[in-house]
């Protein structure tokens, strides 16, 4: 079983309660895995991927708690909206969600200079939207995407809700396609605002993000679930995006757990990565077994900059510039991560 997370939400009375949000388990369409189709041209378009990816069948972000199981994909030209209820609805305070996303390419995305389209967020109610159930149409903390200003890049944005000018706020960075990004969104009931972080450091304290309160629809009295949306139906929309490791909670720390909750540095016996800080071009990686190793190195934006398999105890990293990196090492089926500083 994969991706069963405890969602702790704090109510005004100060009582806490746990929720389980078990996205992306099993195989096949999301509708067979706890999600409900509520709109779109067809059902069962959003499916769970069981093919190889960053780490096993999952997406991966350096420093974040280990990914497990599989991932899902939304596709350009498709049109399906799904929702899944929170075990206990939320009525006030601040609520966060985080996810790993990988925009495969710019196919099917809106051009830069327009609002873009949204594909993930909180929803007021859940269900199939058919009588006697109410329509599932009120969405908050919407995560947006569109083409970046440079070729093969995207911009990521946020909108609190609908109405008004419906102008999401975007992070002022062009992110390369086919790169795993770590996104965090916060929704605040009292101010009806949404805040976005892209690639924050897992385990860090909450800092100022990109905040948006453009949508003029009133703040909800309740948030009952989460939604995943394919938009476009043959026209520009949400494009081709893989999504993984969906978490939710009432604190920034709760949705940005560090690798100590998953991949442990002690997973490979006797592992050493040196010199660190690195001043030359050769990085040494040794262990008790000294068996063949797969080494992936990621920059602070989560972009994989080196991926190699070696039977030696050293690798050439002359392509790295000064900065901080995460080194992911796999040996004999065991995986560990180390932080690397290049001077």
Which of 122-126, 277-281, 323-327 shows the lowest mean pLDDT across its residues? 323-327
Model confidence over 288-305: pLDDT tens digits? 998 999 898 887 656 778
133 plus 276 within the same structural domain: no
Structural domain contains residue 260: no
Model confidence over 68-97: pLDDT tens digits? 778 999 999 999 999 998 767 889 999 999
Model confidence over 91-118: pLDDT tens digits? 999 999 999 999 999 999 999 988 999 9
From the centroid of its chain, how far is CA 50?
18
245 plus 291 within the same structural domain: no
Expressed as residue numbers, the domain containing 336 is 272-342
From the centroid of its chain, how far is CA 122?
14
Partners of 243 in the beta sheet? 72, 101
Where helices occur in the chain by DSSP H, the ranges are none
- β-pairing, 71-74 vs 210-212, is unpaired
pLDDT class of 233 with cuts at 50, 70, 90: low
Above 50 in pLDDT, residue 208? yes
**Model pLDDT, residue 191:** 97
**Model pLDDT, residue 183:** 97
Domain harbouring 107, CATH code: 2.60.120.200
> Structural domain tally of the chain?
2
Structural domain contains residue 11: no
Average pLDDT over residues 33-53: 91
């Amino acid at each position: 079983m994969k991706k069963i997370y405890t969602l702790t939400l704090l109510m005004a009375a100060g009582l806490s309660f746990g929720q389980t949000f078990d996205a992306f388990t099993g195989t096949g369409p999301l509708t067979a895995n706890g999600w409900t189709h509520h709109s779109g041209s067809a059902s069962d378009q959003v499916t769970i991927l069981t093919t190889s990816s960053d780490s096993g069948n999952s997406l991966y972000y350096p420093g974040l708690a280990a990914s497990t199981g599989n991932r899902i994909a939304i596709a350009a030209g498709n049109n399906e909206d799904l929702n899944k209820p929170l075990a206990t609805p939320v009525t006030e305070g601040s609520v966060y969600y985080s996810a790993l996303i990988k925009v495969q390419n710019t196919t099917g995305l809106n051009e830069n200079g327009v609002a873009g389209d949204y594909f993930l967020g909180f929803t007021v109610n859940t269900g199939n939207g058919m009588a006697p159930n109410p329509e599932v149409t009120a969405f908050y903390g919407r995560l947006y995407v569109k083409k970046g200003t440079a070729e093969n890049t995207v911009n990521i944005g946020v909108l609190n809700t609908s109405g008004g000018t419906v102008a999401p706020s975007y992070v002022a960075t062009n992110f390369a396609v086919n790169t795993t990004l770590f996104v965090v969104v916060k929704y605040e009931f009292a101010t009806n605002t949404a805040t976005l972080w892209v690639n924050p450091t897992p385990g860090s304290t909450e800092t100022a993000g990109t905040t948006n309160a453009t949508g003029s629809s009133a703040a909800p009295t309740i948030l009952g679930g989460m939604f995943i949306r394919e938009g476009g139906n043959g026209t520009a929309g949400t494009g081709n995006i893989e999504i993984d490791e969906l978490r939710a909670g009432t604190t920034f720390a709760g949705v940005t757990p560090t690798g100590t909750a998953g991949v442990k540095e002690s997973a490979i016996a006797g592992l050493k990565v040196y010199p660190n800080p690195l001043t030359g071009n050769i990085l040494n990686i040794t262990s008790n077994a000294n068996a063949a190793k797969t080494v992936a190195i990621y920059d602070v934006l989560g972009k994989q900059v080196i991926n190699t398999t070696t039977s030696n105890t050293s690798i050439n990293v002359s392509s790295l510039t000064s900065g901080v990196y995460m080194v992911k090492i796999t040996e004999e089926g065991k995986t560990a991560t180390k932080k690397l500083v290049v001077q």
